[in-house]
């Protein structure tokens, strides 16, 4: 296994623990927005798709990249917007919005 | 990779984590979201600097169309359809990851290293599985596919065999990366498996399935990061995976079930004969609108137990209007939210927040269960299994051991019900026949509006 791959494993395991800790602190009240939020963040596969769509290696790879960018950008843009739409609805007694 | 791109990716990773931390409370959540949006913009900017990108033409078209679809979906989708929307986006996420994997493999299958091949394999396996599995979940929620659990002989055995088959193909590919047949066969089998895994799972278990698929979508994104050697993908995927995992555990625990039981249990096969026999033996006390209004207004404290039936009847606004009327008369009103009251984690909270219920009135089950004993009225609106006392008292009940709301401990329990049919799990509910319970039959929205009028 390459050195980069091992470094990647360190990063993955540490990030999973950080994620477990941070997300464990999210109250059940916000679990639906949380899911929409992490959905938007996982749209980070844009990073891979953009290169595939813009590199023009082969028609096949460009076409796959094109569809992947389409899917990822729906998730990123839609995910952030819908999370915000939900969070705006949460208000405390007295009418002040979150 | 250029230094600028590396720095932007690093910045994005940090901002994602800080942003997620913001979700720890409703006050800071929107700020957290904004921080993560900046992180995403940084990651995209860093990628656009990539030396391999020679044309922006296709990127602009697909990102433009995708953004337009995303904006429209975010603006138009009603909150009741949130589980469908989430399932669909998991499907998009899985597909995107899988296609990037296929694209990478199609270019480099002659030269790819063994370890990179392993990562690519994982990416395509989890991506394909998440793509079709989430599409199935979407179809079930939306009603294209029957929501009940569809079973056939040797179902679990054949699924396990197929899973073992894909795992074997992954191992073979890692050893001989250039054999394209293995790669495409594995992708295909993973997609078939996604369909077959979700088919037997009934509608009531969808919260667990959606959470689990959330986790898989994250793992697919992480695997992409390993395959193209990009840490921000690994980190974002790990965060998403951890989140899906935590939510699956929360949901399973709320239903008193294990993952294995949800995936392989074929729960909810209602024993029709037993249900019918019980229904016949129950003696219930029916109440009028006037009775319910009097009971509600003569107490000091009311705890509302909403279930998915309330959302189906679109009764959230009528419920909040009634709550405001009661509060105007000095009666304390709280909402007891069971984790599986909706169709996905936290769904009921969003539905009630949309109906202008202040979130400090929304209480988790653990937090409020001790208060039922001092409540004058527990008002059950469209809920069934989550208020079934059999979960506490009857070891032979299929839901025995599941955490439930203590609606039976309130001085009076008013249950709004459409008909006398058993709940989603097909289990009879003793609460409805208890001496301190009264039932008001009819459409929940209509009933709540009439009670409000009776109080005016």
More confident residue, B210 or B266: B210
Residue numbers in chain A where pLDDT is lower than 70? 1, 95-98
All residues of chain A having their beta carbon less than 8 Å from the beta carbon of residue B224 are: 45, 48
Residue B54: which of A2, A54, A78 has the nearest Cβ? A54
Shortest distance between the Cα of B59 and any Cα of chain A, in A, equals: 6
pLDDT score of B270: 40
In this complex, do B233 and A47 lie within 8 Å of one another by their Cβ atoms? yes
| Confidence band of B276 (pLDDT split at 50, 70, 90) | very low
In this complex, do B217 and A48 lie within 8 Å of one another by their Cβ atoms? no
In this complex, do B47 and A50 lie within 8 Å of one another by their Cβ atoms? yes
Residue A80: which of B33, B44, B75 has the nearest Cβ? B33
- Whether the predicted pLDDT of B423 surpasses 70: no
Least-confidence region, from B21-35, B38-52, B197-211: B197-211
pLDDT score of B265: 60
Tens-place pLDDT, residues B236-259: 999 999 999 999 999 988 888 777
Assigned superfamily of B274-455: TPP-binding domain (3.40.50.1220)
Separation between Cα atoms, residue A78 and residue B12, nearest integer Å: 19
All residues of chain A having their beta carbon less than 8 Å from the beta carbon of residue B77 are: 82
Averaged pLDDT for residues B20-45:
96
Separation between Cα atoms, residue B347 and residue B3, nearest integer Å: 43
Full 3-state SS string of chain A: CCHHHHHHHHHHHHHHHHHHHHHHCCCHHHHHHHHHHHHHHHHHHHHHHHHHHHCCCCHHHHHHHHHHHHHHHHHHHHHHHHHHHHHHHCECCCCCEC
Tens-place pLDDT, residues B83-92: 999 999 999 9
Taking the Cβ of residue B226 and every Cβ of chain A, the question of whether any pair is shorter than 8 Å is answered with: yes
Q: Is residue B261 classed as helix, strand or coil in its secondary structure? A: helix
Chain A 19-78, residues with CB within 8 Å of chain B CB atoms: 19-20, 22-58, 60-62, 64-78
Residue B182 exposure: Cα atoms within 13 Å on the Cβ side:
21
- Whether the predicted pLDDT of B143 surpasses 70: yes
Separation between Cα atoms, residue B146 and residue A72, nearest integer Å: 29
pLDDT score of B427: 62
Tens-place pLDDT, residues B379-415: 999 888 899 998 888 888 878 888 999 999 999 999 9
More confident residue, B348 or B396: B348
Averaged pLDDT for residues B263-273:
48
Percent of chain B whose predicted confidence (pLDDT) is above 70: 93
In this complex, do A78 and B339 lie within 8 Å of one another by their Cβ atoms? no
In this complex, do B52 and A51 lie within 8 Å of one another by their Cβ atoms? yes
Alpha helices in B49-154 (DSSP H): 57-76, 82-108, 114-142
Averaged pLDDT for residues B266-280:
43
ipTM for this model = 0.94
- Whether the predicted pLDDT of B33 surpasses 60: yes
The residues near A61 (Cβ < 8 Å, ≥ 6 apart) are A52, A55, B103, B106, B107
Shortest distance between the Cα of A1 and any Cα of chain B, in A, equals: 6
Residue A51: which of B47, B119, B210 has the nearest Cβ? B47
Tens-place pLDDT, residues B144-169: 887 777 778 888 888 889 999 999 99
Averaged pLDDT for residues B179-204:
91
Residue A26, burial from CB neighbour count under 10 angstroms (0-12, 13-18, 19+): buried
- Whether the predicted pLDDT of B132 surpasses 80: yes
Percent of chain B whose predicted confidence (pLDDT) is above 90: 68
In this complex, do A52 and B229 lie within 8 Å of one another by their Cβ atoms? no
Separation between Cα atoms, residue B371 and residue B72, nearest integer Å: 43
Taking the Cβ of residue B95 and every Cβ of chain A, the question of whether any pair is shorter than 8 Å is answered with: yes
Domain edges within chain A? 28-89
Residue A69 exposure: Cα atoms within 13 Å on the Cβ side:
26
Best of A47, A86, A89 to substitute, by most chain B Cβ atoms within 10 angstroms, is A47
- Whether the predicted pLDDT of B274 surpasses 70: no
- B438 φ, ψ to 5°? -120, 145
Chain B 46-75, residues with CB within 8 Å of chain A CB atoms: 46-48, 50, 52-56, 58-59, 61-63, 65-67, 69-71, 73-75
| Confidence band of B432 (pLDDT split at 50, 70, 90) | confident
Which pair of tokens denotes residue B63? Answer: 């990102």
Separation between Cα atoms, residue B146 and residue B140, nearest integer Å: 6
pLDDT score of B290: 92
Residue A65: which of B85, B103, B113 has the nearest Cβ? B103
pLDDT score of B220: 94
Taking the Cβ of residue B420 and every Cβ of chain A, the question of whether any pair is shorter than 8 Å is answered with: no
Residue B73: which of A15, A24, A78 has the nearest Cβ? A78
pLDDT score of A2: 78
The residues near B400 (Cβ < 8 Å, ≥ 6 apart) are B256, B390, B391, B394
Return the H-helix or E-strand segment holding B29.
helix B29-48
- Whether the predicted pLDDT of B77 surpasses 90: yes
Average pLDDT, chain B: 89
In this complex, do A47 and B36 lie within 8 Å of one another by their Cβ atoms? no
Give how far Cα A91 sits from Cα of B52, B136, B221, B285, Å: 47, 35, 34, 38
> B414 forms bridges with which residues in the sheet?
B379, B438
- Whether the predicted pLDDT of B277 surpasses 60: no
Residue A29, burial from CB neighbour count under 10 angstroms (0-12, 13-18, 19+): buried
| Confidence band of B231 (pLDDT split at 50, 70, 90) | very high
Least-confidence region, from B14-18, B260-264, B291-295, B444-448: B260-264
Q: How many beta-carbon pairs below 8 A join chains A and B? A: 369
* Count, residues in chain B: 456
Least-confidence region, from A37-41, B118-122, B204-208, B272-276: B272-276
Shortest distance between the Cα of A85 and any Cα of chain B, in A, equals: 8
Query: Which residues of B carry out catalysis?
Result: 385
């Amino acid at each position: 296994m390459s050195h980069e791959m091992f470094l990647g494993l360190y990063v993955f395991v540490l990030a999973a623990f950080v994620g477990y800790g941070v997300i464990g602190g999210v109250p059940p009240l916000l679990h639906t927005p949380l899911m929409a939020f992490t959905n938007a963040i996982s749209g980070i596969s844009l990073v891979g798709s953009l290169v595939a769509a813009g590199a023009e290696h082969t028609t096949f790879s460009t076409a796959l990249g094109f569809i992947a960018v389409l899917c990822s950008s729906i998730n990123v843009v839609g995910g952030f917007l819908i999370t915000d739409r939900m969070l705006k609805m949460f208000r405390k007694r007295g009418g002040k919005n979150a | 990779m250029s230094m600028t791109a590396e720095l932007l990716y690093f910045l994005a990773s940090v901002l994602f984590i800080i942003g997620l931390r913001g979700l720890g409370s409703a006050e800071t959540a929107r700020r957290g979201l904004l921080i993560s949006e900046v992180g995403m913009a940084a990651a995209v900017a860093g990628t656009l600097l990539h030396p391999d990108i020679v044309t922006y033409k296709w990127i602009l078209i697909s990102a433009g169309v995708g953004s337009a679809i995303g904006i429209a979906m975010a603006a138009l989708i009603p909150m009741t359809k949130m589980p469908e929307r989430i399932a669909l986006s998991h499907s998009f996420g899985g597909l995107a990851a899988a296609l990037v994997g296929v694209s990478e493999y199609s270019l480099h299958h002659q030269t790819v290293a063994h370890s990179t091949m392993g990562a690519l394999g994982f990416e395509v396996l989890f991506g394909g599985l998440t793509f079709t599995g989430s599409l199935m979940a979407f179809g079930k929620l939306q009603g294209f596919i029957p929501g009940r659990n569809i079973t056939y002989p040797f179902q679990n055995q054949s699924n396990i065999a197929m899973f073992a088959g894909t795992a074997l193909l992954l191992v073979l590919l890692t050893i001989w990366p250039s054999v394209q047949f293995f790669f495409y066969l594995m992708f295909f089998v993973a997609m078939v498996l996604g369909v077959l895994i979700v088919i037997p799972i009934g509608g009531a278990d969808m919260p667990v399935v959606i959470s689990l698929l959330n986790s898989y979508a994250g793992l697919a994104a992480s695997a992409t990061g390993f395959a193209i050697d990009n840490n921000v993908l690994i980190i974002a995927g790990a965060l998403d995976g951890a989140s899906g995992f935590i939510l699956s555990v929360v949901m399973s625990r709320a239903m008193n079930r294990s993952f294995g039981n949800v995936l392989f249990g074929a729960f909810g096969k209602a024993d029709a004969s037993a249900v019918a026999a019980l229904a016949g033996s129950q003696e219930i006390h029916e109440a009028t609108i006037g009775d319910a209004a009097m009971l509600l207004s003569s107490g000091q404290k009311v705890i509302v137990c909403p279930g998915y039936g309330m959302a189906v009847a679109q009764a959230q606004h009528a419920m909040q209007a009634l709550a405001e009327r009661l509060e105007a008369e000095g009666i304390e009103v709280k909402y007891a939210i069971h984790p599986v009251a909706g169709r996905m984690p936290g769904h009921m909270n969003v539905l009630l927040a949309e109906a202008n219920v202040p979130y400090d009135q929304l209480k988790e089950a653990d937090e409020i269960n001790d208060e039922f004993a001092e409540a004058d009225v527990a008002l059950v609106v469209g809920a069934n299994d989550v208020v079934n006392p059999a979960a506490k008292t009857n070891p032979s009940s299929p839901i025995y051991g599941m955490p439930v709301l203590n609606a039976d401990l309130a001085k009076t329990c008013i249950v709004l019900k459409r008909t006398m049919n058993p709940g989603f799990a097909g289990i009879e509910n003793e609460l409805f026949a208890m001496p301190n319970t009264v039932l008001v039959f009819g459409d929940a929205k209509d009933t709540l509006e009439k009670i409000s009028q009776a109080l005016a």
